[in-house]
Amino acid sequence: MAEQKTIVFKVSDNIKEKMIDYYKDMVTGKPPYSIFQVKDYDCVTTLYESGKVMFQGIGADIEANMWKDLEMHFNNRNIDNEIKEKDNKEDDKTYYYYDAIGSDEVGTGDYFGPIIVTATLVKKETRKLLEDLKIMDSKKMTDDKIRRCAPILMKKIPYVTFNLSNTKFNELTKKGFNMNKIKAILHNKVLYELSNKEKDNYHKIIIDQFTSPRSYFTYLKQENITDKVTKITFLTKGESKHLSVAAASVISRFLFLEEMDKLSQKYGINIPKGASTEVDKVAKEILNKYGKNELLKITKINFKNTEKILNN
């Protein structure tokens, strides 16, 4: 079950008017003594005639923060000093002990190499294995350790992974997809597949939060995706709060490294990760040796690197 939260505070008259205008095309109801109510995937927002506003749901804090920021900007008013909050969210530490499916991705900041998203299931009986291997966020592990540990994880725990090639990534960006939309679609894909394979074998589904829950579900709605997971717990730094997210990060990184090895072997040059000036040098070398079309097949062409490489 997704974690619910209720936040209530009173808005100033000028912010009240801004809320009415902002939500006017999203109104889904009008409870007694209210001006409007908006029900979305992750938050129910109700503005009352008294000026009190109530946010309820897993996205309550994110939705409320927008209006708290406006109160500070326009009225120099710190809502956090006044707010009435009932937080039913469990302490982040308690997530660690659930049987949970978690997902994470790699490759989104790399000019070369695909985007790889993985979902894993970590249960009580497999937690000790991951603890013994000292599994954590892949960014905190060396590539050598990832190459040693990931194959063990892939044999011992259920997982689903998806590899988005740069050719496909470039097609999506040309259609107007931003990175967060692409990530939302891919996370949903692996989470949906694994949760259906592992029905009744987990308590929670956790995403390492990269966008607001509202935006996440809006991206899925825009593409008319009906096979989706909706009961999700969005956690910042999720890889430090549940081993399923950390394991997903490690497996994704391992598969990414394998893809980078294949590229390096194919083009006879050690292709670096990231999007640095060193990456630009290697890309220029590939451009000169194999041509523009070949370069654009294996890179994310919406990165600023492309313009520098092609114009210098």
Mean pLDDT lowest among 43-47, 95-99, 146-150, 217-221: 95-99
* pLDDT above 90: percentage of residues in the chain: 65
Its pTM stands at: 0.72
What is the reported pLDDT for 89?
A: 45
159 and 15 within one domain: no
- Report DSSP state, residue 42: S
Summarised one tens digit per residue, pLDDT across range 60-103 is: 888 888 898 888 888 888 888 776 444 444 445 567 888 999 99
E-assigned strand segments in the chain: 5-10, 34-39, 44-48, 52-56, 84-87, 100-106, 115-122, 159-164, 204-208, 233-235
163 and 213 within one domain: yes
Structure tokens given for 64: 């409320």
What is the reported pLDDT for 153?
A: 97
Give the domain-ending residue among 87, 112, 138. Answer: 87
Confidence of residue 248 (pLDDT cuts 50, 70, 90): very high
Whether the predicted pLDDT of 123 surpasses 80 = yes
150 and 250 within one domain: yes
293 and 177 within one domain: no
271 and 181 within one domain: no
251 and 103 within one domain: yes
What is the reported pLDDT for 94?
A: 67
Summarised one tens digit per residue, pLDDT across range 29-40 is: 998 889 999 988
Whether the predicted pLDDT of 254 surpasses 50 = yes
Contacts of 152 (CB under 8 A, 6+ apart): 129, 133
Give the domain-ending residue among 245, 262, 279. Answer: 262
What is the reported pLDDT for 282?
A: 94
Determine the Cα–Cα distance for residues 213 and 232; give it in Å rounded to an integer. 9
233 and 218 within one domain: yes
Give the domain-ending residue among 87, 111, 135. Answer: 87
The conformational region for residue 224 under phi > 0 = left, psi -120 to 50 = alpha, else beta, is left
Summarised one tens digit per residue, pLDDT across range 3-23 is: 568 889 999 999 999 999 989
C-alpha to C-alpha distances, 153 to 8, 53, 132, 150, 296, nearest whole angstrom: 44, 46, 12, 5, 34
- Report DSSP state, residue 29: B
What is the reported pLDDT for 93?
A: 56
144 and 239 within one domain: yes
Determine the Cα–Cα distance for residues 250 and 103; give it in Å rounded to an integer. 10
Residue 210 belongs to domain spanning: 94-262
- What number is the average pLDDT over the span 187-195? 97
Q: Which residue, 51, 52, 69, is CA-closest to 61?
A: 69
Q: What is the CATH number of the domain that holds 62?
A: 3.30.310.10
What is the reported pLDDT for 85?
A: 41
222 and 80 within one domain: no
**Which residues does residue 122 pair with via DSSP β-bridges, in sequence order?**
100
Greater pLDDT, 153 or 241: 153
Surface-to-core class of residue 92, CB atoms within 10 Å of its CB (0-12 exposed, 13-18 middle, 19+ buried):
middle
Confidence of residue 264 (pLDDT cuts 50, 70, 90): very high
155 and 179 within one domain: yes
Mean pLDDT across the chain: 90
123 and 43 within one domain: no
Work out how many domains the chain is built from and give that number.
Answer: 3
Summarised one tens digit per residue, pLDDT across range 197-231 is: 998 899 889 998 888 888 899 999 999 998 999 88
162 and 22 within one domain: no
Q: What is the CATH number of the domain that holds 252?
A: 3.30.420.10
